[in-house]
Amino acid sequence: MPEKLHDSGRSYHLQCTGDAAETARAHSSKEAITLFGSCFCPFVQRVWIALEHLGIDYEYYEVDPYKKPAELLELSPKGLVPALRLNAHNPPKALNESTVIVDFLEELAVSNVKRSSHTTESLFPPASDPYARALVRLQADTIERTLVPAFYRYLQAQEEDKQIEGAKGFIEAIEGLVTLFKRAENEGYTEYGLWNARGSLSYADVMVAPWILRATNVLKHYRGFVWPESKEFQGYVERLLAHPAVKRTTSTDQLYLDSYERYAFNRPNTSQVANAINAGKALP
């Protein structure tokens, strides 16, 4: 950690800023689906990106997950975001866990297309190619089990040797994902590799985008992180972060720097995620 940085005691934000604030305002009216989210949470941003990309109507509702309001606990037993409330049912039904929700939204979008003449941007290859779908799920699996935990281990490391170890671990996780992207390309699925021929988003892109974003601001600021010297991967990062669905759900850098200071200095009981990393356990 650069010596000039110190823990100023800044807290996490409670409202979106920048493009994300405009998107939240545009989705403040009641809809059949309500996304309970928090502006700083990458797991929430996954779901938000999927909603925007798939063109599903929704209401965005900001909550403070650390206060665990009763309305959130009704939807998410651990009081974690994201959570979906499905208002068309009586009583409303609920879903939590970001991967489960994104899977649900993909299936919902596809089923809506089948019942109408509308089109949508699917996150997966067609169902007629189960092998291609499996390749995409392999990409998402390495993101979930390797890259995401490596991000937090790197950010929370306090000693210099642990930070160096954390940087290596995060870069290795990136390289593992790149290997899977290139595998897809080599097997003819170029739209699910580093160079997305469709100019669209895949399931793996949605899964990784929030942490790619936070690596460009949070890790850069607190750990001096720089991307591996690969123009190909750097091009992927630029295209991913420039995608409209990602941009529309992104706040200003300052929101992330403020909200992640507690992780960078590993304050006690920062979050359930931070506690799990410190204890060497799986993420909640």
Distance in angstroms (rounded) separating the CA atoms of residues 172 and 211: 15
- Tens of pLDDT, residue by residue over 165-202, are 999 999 999 999 999 999 999 999 988 998 765 678 99
Distance in angstroms (rounded) separating the CA atoms of residues 33 and 87: 6
Query: Does position 214 have pLDDT exceeding 60, yes or no?
Result: yes
**What φ, ψ does residue 118 adopt, rounded to 5°?**
-75, 160
Residue 200 has a pLDDT of 86
**For residues 249 and 120, which has the higher predicted lDDT (pLDDT)?**
249
Query: Does position 33 have pLDDT exceeding 80, yes or no?
Result: yes
What percent of the chain clears pLDDT 70, i.e. is strictly above it? Answer: 95
Residue 52 has a pLDDT of 96
**Please, which residues have CB within 8 angstroms of residue 73's CB and are 6 or more apart in sequence?**
79
- Tens of pLDDT, residue by residue over 75-110, are 999 999 999 999 999 999 999 999 999 999 999 998
Query: Does position 116 have pLDDT exceeding 90, yes or no?
Result: no
Residue 136 has a pLDDT of 97
Distance in angstroms (rounded) separating the CA atoms of residues 46 and 49: 5
Query: Does position 42 have pLDDT exceeding 90, yes or no?
Result: yes
Query: Does position 117 have pLDDT exceeding 80, yes or no?
Result: no
- Tens of pLDDT, residue by residue over 137-157, are 999 999 999 999 999 999 999
Query: Does position 119 have pLDDT exceeding 60, yes or no?
Result: no
Residue 120 has a pLDDT of 65
Distance in angstroms (rounded) separating the CA atoms of residues 34 and 83: 8
Q: How far is CA 265 from CA 141, 163, 252, in A?
A: 28, 12, 21
Q: Is the dihedral of CA 49, 51, 54, 55 positive or negative?
A: negative
278 residue type, one letter? N
**For residues 20 and 113, which has the higher predicted lDDT (pLDDT)?**
20
Q: How far is CA 31 from CA 39, 61, 248, in A?
A: 20, 11, 19
User: Are the beta carbons of 223 and 198 closer than 8 angstroms?
Assistant: no
pLDDT band for position 20 (cuts 50, 70, 90): very high
Residue 113 has a pLDDT of 65
pLDDT band for position 114 (cuts 50, 70, 90): low
pLDDT band for position 1 (cuts 50, 70, 90): very low
Average pLDDT over residues 240-261: 97
Residue 229 has a pLDDT of 86
Domains and CATH numbers, the chain: 18-114 (3.40.30.10), 130-278 (1.20.1050.10)
